């Protein structure tokens, strides 16, 4: 009882005082499809949509809070094609347009911007301009396709733990049922609705979990109409 009280007290005074929550729930750790719902001030907003997650499902990532994890449940690793499960801050939006009037910080993706997925690099899991000497492994942010036309940065593994996974975003889907390499994707129209709704002043977060952890979310956020 005391432990539960202390957890709830911690939640109320930190990240978990968030007024905006994106909740992504998959059937289990192995599926590449999930349901996404949005909440603000303990009320559901927008409509629940189908989204794509990692080709190999989910793996527990490094976020702001550790859910109860069973020994046989997978952990997120670099290159495993799993989307991270957990609770993560949403730091900013990004896209191809030079300017946007969103209420969450916006980054214009120029052709020089890359995201480093080489865990031996000091810039691992960071977005930087292409240096004179090309990194061993990186992802081009200004892609030839439209997948990064609009998106949101997910603060997974912000302390750059080696091989724990990098470059995690909410972004535009390749096609309706195309799984991802570890991100969460949806249609451009749905992405526009979400980025227009997000507000940095309301401490937005992503909760991404298998259905087996939904009960724990209900304990942490008892007022959410799940």
Output the domain CATH number for residue 147. 2.40.440.10
Cα dihedral 129, 130, 135, 137 in deg (nearest 10): 80
**Predicted confidence (pLDDT) per residue in 131-144, tens digit:** 999 999 999 999 98
Surface-to-core class of residue 38, CB atoms within 10 Å of its CB (0-12 exposed, 13-18 middle, 19+ buried): buried
Full residue range of the structural domain in which residue 151 is found: 17-220
Q: Can you tell me the mean pLDDT for 46-62? A: 98
What average pLDDT is seen over the chain?
A: 93
Q: Which pLDDT score is estimated for 14? A: 54
CB 56 within 8 A of CB 184: no
**Predicted confidence (pLDDT) per residue in 55-94, tens digit:** 999 999 999 988 999 999 999 999 999 999 999 999 999 9
Pairing of strands 58-60, 83-95: parallel
- Lowest-pLDDT choice from 6-15, 95-104, 133-142, 181-190: 6-15
Is residue 131 in a domain?
yes
pLDDT at 15 over 70: no
Question: Any idea which residue has 């309301």 for tokens?
Answer: 202
Is residue 33 in a domain?
yes
Is residue 130 in a domain?
yes
- Would you tell me how many other CB atoms lie within 10 Å of the CB of residue 212? 16
CB 114 within 8 A of CB 134: no
**Predicted confidence (pLDDT) per residue in 92-119, tens digit:** 999 999 989 999 999 999 999 999 999 9
Number of domains in the chain: 1
161: left (phi > 0), else alpha (psi -120 to 50), else beta?
beta
Residue 11: band (very low, low, confident or very high) from pLDDT cuts 50, 70, 90 = very low
Is residue 225 in a domain?
no
Is residue 192 in a domain?
yes
pLDDT at 147 over 60: yes
Task: Give the global pTM.
Answer: 0.92
Q: Which pLDDT score is estimated for 6? A: 47
Is residue 2 in a domain?
no
Is residue 76 in a domain?
yes
Q: How far is CA 125 from CA 22, 39, 57, 115, in A?
A: 22, 28, 20, 6
Q: Can you tell me the mean pLDDT for 121-127? A: 96
Is residue 53 in a domain?
yes
Q: Which pLDDT score is estimated for 155? A: 97
- Would you tell me how many other CB atoms lie within 10 Å of the CB of residue 110? 12
pLDDT at 121 over 50: yes
Give the pair of three-digit tokens for residue 127: 């977005």
């Amino acid at each position: 009882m005391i432990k539960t009280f202390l957890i709830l007290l911690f939640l109320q005074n930190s990240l978990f005082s968030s007024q905006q929550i994106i909740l992504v729930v998959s059937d289990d750790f192995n599926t590449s499809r999930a349901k996404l719902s949005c909440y603000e001030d303990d009320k559901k907003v927008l409509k629940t949509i189908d989204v794509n997650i990692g080709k190999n499902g989910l793996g527990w990532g490094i976020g702001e809070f550790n859910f109860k994890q069973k020994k046989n449940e997978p952990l997120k690793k670099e290159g495993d094609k799993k989307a991270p499960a957990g609770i993560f801050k949403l730091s900013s939006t990004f896209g191809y347009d030079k300017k946007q009037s969103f209420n969450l910080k916006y980054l214009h993706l120029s052709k020089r911007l890359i995201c480093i997925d080489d865990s031996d690099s000091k810039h691992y899991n960071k977005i930087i301009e292409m240096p004179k000497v090309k990194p061993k492994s990186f992802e081009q942010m200004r892609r030839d396709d439209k997948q990064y036309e609009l998106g949101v940065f997910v603060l997974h593994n912000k302390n750059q733990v080696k091989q724990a996974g990098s470059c995690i975003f909410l972004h535009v889907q390749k096609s309706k049922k195309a799984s991802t390499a570890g991100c969460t994707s949806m249609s451009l129209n749905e992405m526009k609705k979400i980025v227009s709704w997000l507000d940095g002043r309301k401490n937005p977060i992503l909760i991404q979990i298998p259905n087996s952890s939904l009960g724990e979310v209900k304990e942490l956020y008892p007022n959410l109409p799940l």
